[in-house]
Structure 1
Amino acid sequence: MNLARYCLTNASPAPGAGALEVVGPNGVQKELWTYGEIERTILSVAGGLTEKGLKRGDRILLRLGHSSDFPLVFFGAIAGGFIPIPTSEMLTAAEATAILEDSAAAAVIHDGRTALPRGNSLILGPQDLLALKAFEGGDYADTTADDPAFLIYTSGTSGTPKGVLHAQRAAIGRTPMYKGWYGIFSADRLLHAGAFNWTYTLGVGLMDPWANGATSLVYDGPRDPEIWPGLIESCKATLFAAVPSLYRRLLKYGDVDTGSFPFLRHGLTAGEALPAGLHDEWVERTGRPLYEALGMSEISTYISSGPSVPTRPGSPGKPQTGRKVAILTEDGQGEDFAAIDEPGLLAVHESETGLMLGYWNRPEETAAAFRAGWFLTGDRARADKDGYYWYEGRADDLMNAFGYRVAPEEVERTLSAHPDVLEVAVTAMPVREGVSLITAFVVPRTPGRHDETTLAAWAHDRLAEYKRPKAYRFVASLPRTPSGKIRRKALI
């Protein structure tokens, strides 16, 4: 089992079929890679890395920007039995150095533009990259399903980078998403709004379309929100994947109606919770479904709506067919399951094929993430009588309001339903030692329209007293991570 081989050969695509298109403004095609071309180049990279003296299992840190070089090297390294470490081009030299030191990567591949880490690893620059892609020879390494495939870094609750090690079987672990979320076919053209070096793009934008013989479309150009409706249409995209915040901006600034992008079957969204109001506005304006998925770095997505699971606004959907998902009681120690509509800890069974091998060099933290054979995702959720799951936020994001535990997502979900609210983030703001007040940071739908009294009345009618914000702050925008998630800690 080799992840790269699986992605490129699972659907047995014709060598001349389109695998990857890099498109610019107005959908102008900048690059076209057939399945035959992309497989040959990936195997060249695999052979070239071996020729450089790297050994199977060596980690390779990728410091590459948004270009097709990123997936070529990422999948090429996996094909050769190496372990690529994808990183954002926005990382500083110090941040890249921290990852290099923690991973003990044997080599760094960079494009001459991204910040380089400090260390004694082998540095392969732009000319080496050209040579790798042109190398004659190379083949898939004879790896097994449980062999390491790639290592991704995410920030833990302390902000310290934490490596998540995935196995070659991670690609097979994504198969429940094909029908459970995408409804994907070989004739599909999936446009992903993210950059190549984002793991959301590597998985949803590349691994899954390729494993189904479909065409991956990745945009390279200005990111103004008004360009997306025309781009989706000119690319003849049948599926579109983005974070909720991009859908919000697309609807606000783009010219969208039911006649827009006629080839598009439905939209896909993940990365943060999809507000019910945003879902409803997309459906009303476009006449097309918007399917949400809930996942994480450790397992990809495992709960979603899709063609076979009707959307229920505010819920990410149901566990995908074949997934073993449960909600455990928050105060229990063993395999204690929460009752219907009782919030608890969202968990995935340790037998899940797509589950990570573990946290890199953190055996104690890996062991602590499991309880009675279940991996604790760190998310809180509840399940209704129909099997739909309702996200209640990160367990470590819980606010303490005068002794009561409050999930910020619940308050945000309520406030975001107000017609005057474009976006909102809620956090507990310290006012003096030992005392914090729930505070709502609101981006008004109409700039300059600040009506705290109306919002407070809205919350009064819909939230228990201890859950209501005690203060409102109106802001032009919310701080976000490079992947689009709200940074609540930056609000304090």
Structure 2
Amino acid sequence: MLSISDPGAPDAPCPAPFNLAAHVLARGAALPDKLALQIVRPTGAERWSYGRLIAAVRGAGSGLLALGLVPGDRVLLRLGNTPDFPVAFLGAITAGLVPVPTSTQLTVPEITATAARIAPALIIAADGIALPEGTACPVLPAAQLHAMADLPPCDWHMGTPDRPAYAVFTSGTSGRPQAVLHAHRAIWARRMMHSGWEGLGEADRLLHAGAFNWTYTLGTGLMDPWTVGATALIPGAGVTPDQLPLLLKRFDATIFAAAPGVIRQMLRGTLPALPRLRHGLSAGESLSPALRQDWQARTGTDLHEALGMSECSTFISGSPDRPAPEGCTGFAQPGRRIAVLGDNGPVPRGQAGTLAVWRDDPGLMLEYLNDPAETAARFRDGWFLTGDQVEMRADGAIRYLGRADDQMNPGGYRVSPLEVEAALAGLPGAQDFAVAEVAVKPGTTVIACFYTATEPLDADTLATFAASRLARYRQPRLWQRLDALPRNANGKLNRRALAAAWRPE
């Protein structure tokens, strides 16, 4: 039996004309007084009703068009963990614009390169967040975005569901960040996650531990709850993992979502009784069986993992209706056509290969922006190649085996080592250097930089240099001197041997 999923009965096609933001907020329009969003802290919460959220989103759309923007223009978002982010994101999409969220941790050189790639017509920015240099692009302060909430509501910009809706950045196999362009239909595909992973309904209160601008938070933490009329709970700035159990209890969360690293930190402390919690969701990095078992023992609920990527969000998962077998990530979500490919097509079940998604999946990206060669390189015989190595069992369960390439994934952030090494060019005192992901303890990995030098270099000096050029999640946390970097006969770096060279002090 070959490693191809049976997607089941065809899903209803995405309606046309269509607008992603209109779809996300349609259910909330019938529930104007219900809480759509709470920014939660140990000291209390900021509350947004659906009526307030929809007015702010549609007012933002009107305000952006009044600035002279036209449908199709790109809007670079430089916003923090506040409601400004979803208001700007959905407001732009309402008006037919294409928002591009970016991490607030990006440095000036990083965001300058990012802006050059997407050529935005406008930047929406909060105070204290790095902006690109050398660009004439106008900047809209977040304070002016707030004032747009009182403007007349923008009409939904309707059109083909295949037109561009938003772009997100991910590290590509080329070693530089790729702008992944998604269509409006991407939100229609997320319906397969509501039952196939999240077990999400209108009565739920979903607490997501991530930042607003992470695609995991954007989808699972905000847009999915709003699509079904549920309530999204997002921790405010400064909330730490050890405070999350209190927030889960105090705000009656029924579903909790986070990356495994956050869950691991949370479970180090004392957990109160959580009678309202139904289950947890895990994505962003591989979930270890031991962590899932610890969660089950401590909370009395299950933890459902999902596997996906920026190019297609999540499409493999366990769920309350079909939990993943131990040691597996889960199953192809209903409606997803996936395969495990070898050199000659789908491999027999039980054999390892490359996970692939069929080209017609409504959640699959449109393209890597301005990179047709890289876009074409990711397809083979109609299949989109994810780069993930997996095995499909006889029952269809997927076991994750790792990445085909050398990309790192510390803390749930996918990072290219080539990208980090390019930023560290000129590392003071180093003759040669390279980075790799290393395990510091079971289930926890960090980026380590290995270098050659006549004598050990000062780690604080190296860390300061890295901090000036890289976002925190891209910075090496460990520094180790080697006599020589491991290379093959052709001089190519052996990254697996490099990671194995790390030794605790």
| Shorter-chain TM-score above 0.5 | yes
Q: 1:21 aligns with which of 24, 38, 44?
A: 38
- Give yes or no for contact 2:324–2:397 (8 Å, CA) kept in 1: no
- Give yes or no for contact 1:349–1:375 (8 Å, CA) kept in 2: yes
Q: Identity rate of aligned residues, in percent?
A: 44
User: 2:455 aligned with 1:434, yes or no?
Assistant: no
Change (3 A) 1:197 1:384: same
| Structure 1: unaligned runs, 5 residues or longer | 400-414, 442-468, 476-492
Paired residues for 1:60-79 under 5 Å: 60-79=75-94
Q: Distance in 2 between matches of 1:324 and 1:125?
A: 43
When normalised by structure 2's length, the TM-score is 0.79
User: 2:398 aligned with 1:389, yes or no?
Assistant: yes
When normalised by structure 1's length, the TM-score is 0.81
Aligned to 1:84: 99
Change (3 A) 1:240 1:472: same
Q: 2:227 aligns with which of 199, 203, 211?
A: 211
Q: What whole-Å deviation, never above 9, does each CA across 1:22-72 have from its counterpart, x for those lacking one?
A: 11125x11x211111111110100011010000110000011111100100
Aligned to 1:4: 21
Aligned to 2:109: 94
User: 2:470 aligned with 1:473, yes or no?
Assistant: no
Aligned to 2:181: 165
| Structure 2: unaligned runs, 5 residues or longer | 1-17, 409-438, 451-483
Q: Distance in 1 between matches of 2:496 and 2:302?
A: 34
Instruction: Report the CA distance between 1:222 and its aligned residue.
Output: 2.7
Aligned to 1:482: none
Q: Distance in 2 between matches of 1:348 and 1:294?
A: 12
Q: What whole-Å deviation, never above 9, does each CA across 1:226-249 have from its counterpart, x for those lacking one?
A: 211111111100000000011111
- Any idea what SS the aligned residue of 1:65 has? coil
Q: Distance in 1 between matches of 2:486 and 2:366?
A: 43
Q: 1:314 aligns with which of 311, 327, 339?
A: 327
Tell me which amino acid in the other structure corresponds to 2:325.
Answer: R
Q: What whole-Å deviation, never above 9, does each CA across 1:200-241 have from its counterpart, x for those lacking one?
A: 111111110011110001110433322111111111000000
User: 2:147 aligned with 1:137, yes or no?
Assistant: no
- Any idea what SS the aligned residue of 1:390 has? strand
Q: 1:43 aligns with which of 58, 61, 67?
A: 58
- Any idea what SS the aligned residue of 2:194 has? helix
Q: 1:323 aligns with which of 324, 331, 336?
A: 336
Tell me which amino acid in the other structure corresponds to 1:66.
Answer: N
- Give yes or no for contact 1:280–1:313 (8 Å, CA) kept in 2: no
Instruction: Report the CA distance between 1:473 and its aligned residue.
Output: 2.5
Q: Distance in 1 between matches of 2:113 and 2:193?
A: 33
User: 2:360 aligned with 1:343, yes or no?
Assistant: no
- Give yes or no for contact 1:25–1:221 (8 Å, CA) kept in 2: no
Q: Distance in 2 between matches of 1:344 and 1:66?
A: 38
Q: Distance in 2 between matches of 1:130 and 1:424?
A: 39
Aligned to 1:262: 275
Q: Distance in 2 between matches of 1:127 and 1:432?
A: 52
Paired residues for 1:82-481 under 5 Å: 82-118=97-133, 119-252=135-268, 254-256=269-271, 260-329=273-342, 331-332=343-344, 336-397=345-406, 421=442, 423=444, 431-434=485-488, 436=494, 473-474=503-504
User: What is the Cα-based RMSD across aligned positions, in Å?
Assistant: 2.3
- Give yes or no for contact 1:45–1:77 (8 Å, CA) kept in 2: yes
Q: Distance in 2 between matches of 1:42 and 1:36?
A: 10
Q: Which moved more, 1:6-15 or 1:286-295?
A: 6-15
Aligned to 2:411: none
- Any idea what SS the aligned residue of 2:384 has? strand
- Give yes or no for contact 2:324–2:331 (8 Å, CA) kept in 1: no
Aligned to 1:34: 49
The ranges of structure 1 where at least 4 consecutive aligned residues each deviate by more than 4 angstroms after the TM superposition are 424-432, 435-441
Change (3 A) 1:280 1:134: same
Tell me which amino acid in the other structure corresponds to 1:473.
Answer: R
Tell me which amino acid in the other structure corresponds to 1:74.
Answer: F
Aligned to 1:465: none
Instruction: Report the CA distance between 1:427 and its aligned residue.
Output: 9.9
Tell me which amino acid in the other structure corresponds to 2:488.
Answer: G
Change (3 A) 1:14 1:47: same
Tell me which amino acid in the other structure corresponds to 1:283.
Answer: Q
Instruction: Report the CA distance between 1:439 and its aligned residue.
Output: 6.0
